[in-house]
Amino acid sequence: MSFRGAFTALVTPFKNGAVDEDAYRAFIEWQIEQGIDGVVPCGTTGEAATLSHTEQGQVIKICVDQVKGRVPVIAGAGSNNTREAIELVQLAKDARADAALIITPYYNKPTPDGLVAHFKALAAEASMPFILYNVPGRTGQNVMPKTIARIAKAVPEVIGCKEATGDIKQGTELIEIMGRDFTVLSGDDFTVLPLLAAGGHGTISVTSNVMPAKMSGMIAAFNKRDTARAQALNLEMMPVNRAMFIETNPIPVKTALSLMGKMGPEFRLPLVPMESAHLEQLKTILKASALI
């Protein structure tokens, strides 16, 4: 299984407090029709932190069933509690996801030895391909390239990294240390094209929820050495990239998808609907980008 190209960090639609399966299936189908290269259920953008384990297993199963092997599925399955993370990885494995996206333990701030032990424990109990998720803005800890190399050496299941530091220098160093066979995916929509230029392999994207064809098209153009086309698409997406983060993710992207008629605008606490001033700002940008 190749984990290359544009992967959408899927929003999870809710209706009357429950997962809206019909809207979710339709949304996944639209993503595939638009040419997305892969999907990621139950990540940060999917409000996984508010899903019960039963719901998380349900969402991953729905996604895998709807995809039917047409594109890879990387299921979010991390926790700062190693026992809980093992349970979540097992859910992903049982649902037949192609890989698990494993956020490095947040709040606890484990040492490099602790990180190695965490991933060893996951692999021992539920072995499958792992994409390590380094997102210091969420975890409070930046896992440096040399530590990622230690983890990958000790745990062969760790085949890639979602690099969400926003630091091109660090991302390039990771590619340098790990070599081209180790998958490096941008975790920030602003850094996708620069990271591709440095030797990266694609992205796990928020923006591709609303612009899947353009995000996958940009990566495809770059891979075909059509840099002019890749640059043009990158610049076209920049206003939407910014709009997706005018409030905490996934508030803007789910609001945008609601305005586009893809799903309802329902969130789970502690997330709440977008502030009115930001909503008007979002509408302006979506209209300018011909999304609504």
Rounded distance between C-alpha atoms, residue 39 and residue 208, angstroms: 10
Q: Is 45 annotated as a binding residue?
A: yes
Q: How many whole angstroms separate alpha carbon 155 and alpha carbon 242?
A: 36
Q: Strand order in 99-103's β-sheet? A: 38-40, 5-9, 202-205, 183-186, 158-163, 130-134, 99-103, 74-76
Catalytic residues: 133, 162
Q: Is 175 annotated as a binding residue?
A: no
CA distance 136 to 159: 20
Task: For the chain, give percent helix, strand, coil, nearest 5.
Answer: 50, 15, 35
Identify which of 46, 19, 16, 49 has the alpha carbon closest to the alpha carbon of residue 31.
46
Give the residue ranges of the annotated binding site for pyruvate: 45, 204
Give the residue ranges of the annotated binding site: 45, 204
